Amino acid sequence: MPGLHVTDQQVVRYMSQRPNHTQAIAAAKSGFSERTARRLDHDLRLPSQKNPERAWRTRTDPLTEVWPRALEMLKTMPGIMAVTIFETLQEEFSPDAVPDTVRRTLERRVADWQALNGADKEVFFPQRHEPGQQAQSDFTVADALGVTIGGEPFPHRLYHFRLVYSGWEHAHVILGGESFSAVAEGMQDALWKLGGTTVEHRTDSLSAAYKNLARDAQLDFTSRYKDLCDHYGMTATRNNPGVANENGSIESSNLHIKRRLAQALLRRGSLDFESLDDYRRFVDGICDRHNARRKALVAEEREKLRPLPKRRTTDFTKVTVPVTRNSTISVDRVLYSVPSRLIGHKLEVHLYDDRLVCFYGATSVATMERVRVNRSERGRNIDYHHVIGTLRRKPQALRNLLYRDSLFPSAAYSRAWSVLNAGMPTRLACRIMVTLLDIASKDSSVEEALGQRLDAIFDAGKMPDPVALMAEFTPKDPRVTDITIPPPNIKGYNDLLPLMGTGASSVEGGELLP
């Protein structure tokens, strides 16, 4: 029927506009076409007063034969998709009975049935957030950014912390997986940068952090996480496992921050960074710019934050390990070297996400980069400085040393050993190689410069002369210069006599006179 596509309100508006405007202008102001206006001028009844839309079909229903089977699948297979029903009907009937041209008709029919008869859907309830009430955090894998450090691929995660009300955020680059040390370090960095704490801190179920942990370890993780939040006066909460939308404010933000990072990397023109610190500064800069755009909300929320405690709390995992007679310790399936003077003692190791700090008693004795390996692998992190003193006395130990390849500080020294071992007797190669390491151990700048010199020597097809290299790279002793100190002229004391009053003696000829 004419005019049924417009509402009563539109017709009333048209009728009020028509005495003062042309038909076209009144129709435009009312939100419908001039053609509809012409029909309304012939019949000014409201749409609700006209006959209902026809209920008869104008063509044969193409799904008459197959719809009962489709309806059976809808009732017995909750969640089945329209395309699956369509493919099943084509298989059970014939392509002529269910041609491709009826697919959209079937999809609309299925959608209509599900809207009227389908199961209830999950409702997402909008939440009202108060300033200073809740912070959320989560881990997100950032490998797809394609970042490299020094030309090497850099797979990593981001620990993402965000205030729900203002959107203030902090991202901490994580080298390993989801762990307590990663949570503790990232969360505390964010809180101290923010300058306050919220009432509640919410995370997901941290399923990856619990993976492969025994039940006792899981309970320990939970206990330490609760203690961490208690230290900052925050209530620790977690959403239900598998229900990511309960942490929706951070889940969607994970995608946004990675998109901003990807765009900033594109604008930067390079995915490579010289060091991990350079990349971390880059990520911090992206977060700072985002926070600056929300400064009004952030300022409002900062006024509601609770004060920080007097100090940070533990953001590492403690393990106690013995130092073997090989001058090594084993931590999380990785062999690390330590100074040989610690052989036979036990060290307390503070295990951070990216480093290890070793303590003998209360004294820090070694810090090294943390090595990550798969569960089925073993790793090594050997510093030749720790064992070079013994190697000088026993250079032949280098020949079959278990961790020999991990001992060399760079590719230049690995190349040196390969060339020396292939070009001369192994005994002599060991002595020369140990001498080269001894020279390199004197100073970090010497290590790099000597490596470059070795590459140049081998590129020229020559063998290194350890004596010449030692003379060139060993720091020279400072020259001792004789200093002559003349005897003091004691006659100068006479100038002080007027200031000393009566009864003072004078100096004559180097002797003190009464």
For residue 338, which of 383, 378, 390, 299 has the smallest C-alpha distance? 383
Q: How far, in Å, CA of 131 to CA of 469, rounded?
A: 66
* 140: helix, strand or coil: strand
pLDDT of residue 67: 93
Q: How far, in Å, CA of 285 to CA of 298, rounded?
A: 17
Backbone phi, psi, residue 351, to 5°: -100, 105
Backbone Cα Rg of the chain: 40
Paired strand residues for 160: 138, 171
Predicted TM-score (pTM) of the model is 0.62
- pLDDT of residue 416 exceeding 90: yes
Reported confidence tier of residue 221, pLDDT bands at 50, 70, 90: confident
In order, the DSSP letters of 58-123 are SS--TTTTTHHHHHHHHHHSTT--HHHHHHHHHHHS-TTTS-GGGHHHHHHHHHHHHHHHSPPPPP
pLDDT of residue 236: 87
- pLDDT of residue 73 exceeding 60: yes
End-to-end alpha carbon distance in the chain:
139
pLDDT of residue 125: 72
Q: Report CA-CA distances (Å) from 457 to 412, 419, 441, 485, 487.
A: 11, 11, 20, 49, 56
pLDDT of residue 510: 47
pLDDT of residue 267: 93
pLDDT of residue 168: 95
pLDDT above 90: percentage of residues in the chain? 53
What is the average pLDDT across 387-410?
91
pLDDT of residue 237: 82
pLDDT of residue 119: 83
CB 179 within 8 A of CB 353: yes
Q: How far from chain centre, in Å, is Cα 462?
A: 46
Digit-coded pLDDT (tens) for 454-506: 999 999 999 999 899 988 887 666 555 666 777 777 666 666 666 555 555 55
Paired strand residues for 250: none
What is the average pLDDT across 50-64?
71
Helix, strand, coil percent content, the chain, rounded in steps of 5: 50, 15, 35
Reported confidence tier of residue 249, pLDDT bands at 50, 70, 90: low
Digit-coded pLDDT (tens) for 85-112: 999 999 998 888 889 999 999 999 999 9
